Amino acid sequence: MKTPILSIIIPVFNAEHIIGAIVSRVLAQPFSNFELILVDDGSTDHSLAVISQFQIQDPRVVLLAQKHHGSPSHARNIGLKKARGKFVMFFDADDDISPKMIQSMVKTIQTDDCDLVTCGIQIQRVKGTRVISSTNLGVTPVSPLARDEPFKTYIVRLLGNDSRLYSVCNKIFRNSIIKKYHLKFNPELDFGEDLIFNLNYLAHSQTISFIYQPFYIYHLDITAGLSGKSALAYTNRQKNFQNLQHFIRDSQDPTLPHLLGWIKHYWFFSYALAVCGSQLNFRTKLKRLRRAIKSEHLSKLPKTQGLSKNQRLIAFGIRTFGKTAFTLFLVATLSGHIKNSRHSAQLWRKLQVSTNEKT
């Protein structure tokens, strides 16, 4: 069989009613030189039967079936072992992609001859089959790599600006880098595993290109609560931060401590949003916020170097609001309502663009 240019990996677990949508979207893409690796991760419904039909109908579909359920990370690792393409992409079974995403991503990584390409994401907040609101992330131009700025410092700065580098689903990777450095997902992590994989990959990269179009469509079901169990454990964010520190362990750039200080504040408030948007009762929410406040000691404001005016304002606000769990609860709850309301999605988008502005 001819070696494909691209390998696309999708973990599948109990997705019999939804997997057909994204598989059909992938197979209908104008770029066709790919293999679609579907990894059934021990599904107990009819997912395996559904994707087996796609394998029969299209020779580009590769089906890998696991007897026992593991995790999305484990399933992706299984797919990586079989991936033959020069490039690799990852999608999730319950999401969607734009009609020309694959073609645009492959063209960009070939034309720019870069190590990584990342595009924008459209977050659709759905209730059943109805889209409540949508927000486009990663569609504003990023500031370029500054002269004499270390690549790792640049990546940390981008991580503090917006969320376009956190997911693996809006990216295209070089398989040669993945295989050379034996990169894989950590199946023991149930939060931030995408970020850790990206950091491990970027540790061996030198160039990155951006596409300012929301090609990847992420479906966020608000009926199930805005946060999963793993997002409500603050220790998971602390583990991610330790990995971020490991990523820059050999760097001597004096601006990095300030950028890391901002990211810690940024992630802390992200945790508060997750707690306040969860289905936990009020008393439990306050208890978790108090525990996070106590564990971080966020009273020291990061220095201003490398931060925009809006970032400094947010960091100051988090430091101030973080003194009491109740005040933090009120602010995070209000922010969550602004972010997820149908009528205020446009406002939230403007606020995010403002936050991304550099001084």
Q: What is the pLDDT of residue 224?
A: 57
Q: What is the pLDDT of residue 333?
A: 63
Domain ranges within the chain, ordered by starting residue: 6-224, 230-356
pLDDT at 288 over 60: yes
> Could you tell me how far CA 126 lies from the centroid of its own chain?
18
Amino acid occupying residue 27: L
Q: Angle at which helices 234-247 and 193-202 pack, to 10 degrees?
A: 0
Q: What is the pLDDT of residue 358?
A: 37
Portion of the chain with pLDDT greater than 90, in percent: 54
pLDDT at 324 over 80: no
- For the stretch 80-125, pLDDT in tens is 999 999 999 999 999 999 999 999 999 999 999 999 999 999 998 8
SS3 at position 217: strand
> Could you tell me how far CA 322 lies from the centroid of its own chain?
25
Name residues whose C-beta falls within 8 Å of residue 19's C-beta, 6 or more positions apart in sequence: 10, 12, 38, 47, 50, 51, 93
> Could you tell me how far CA 315 lies from the centroid of its own chain?
22
SS3 at position 324: coil
The structure tokens 């700025």 sit at 149
Nearest partner of 170 among 113, 273, 233, 98, judged by Cα: 98
Q: Of residues 351 and 108, which shows the higher confidence score?
A: 108
The structure tokens 């490039």 sit at 87
Structure tokens at 1: 């069989």
pTM of the predicted model as reported, rounded to 2 decimal places: 0.87
Beta bridge partners, 9, equal 37, 90
pLDDT at 293 over 90: no
SS3 at position 3: coil
Q: What is the pLDDT of residue 300?
A: 54
Find the helix or strand (DSSP H, E) in which 156 lies: helix 151-161
Over the chain, what is the mean pLDDT?
85
Q: Is 30 exposed, middle or buried (0-12, 13-18, 19+ CB in 10 A)?
A: exposed
- For the stretch 216-252, pLDDT in tens is 999 887 665 445 678 888 899 999 999 999 999 989 8
Question: Across 167-176, 247-256, 300-309, which has the greatest mean pLDDT?
Answer: 167-176
pLDDT at 259 over 50: yes
Q: What is the pLDDT of residue 351?
A: 44
pLDDT band for position 346 (cuts 50, 70, 90): very low
pLDDT at 12 over 90: yes
Nearest partner of 268 among 323, 187, 306, judged by Cα: 323
Radius of gyration of the chain (CA): 20
H helices of 222-321, in order, are: 234-247, 256-276, 282-296, 309-321
Q: Is 234 exposed, middle or buried (0-12, 13-18, 19+ CB in 10 A)?
A: buried
The dotted CATH code for 6-224 is: 3.90.550.10
Q: What is the pLDDT of residue 292?
A: 83
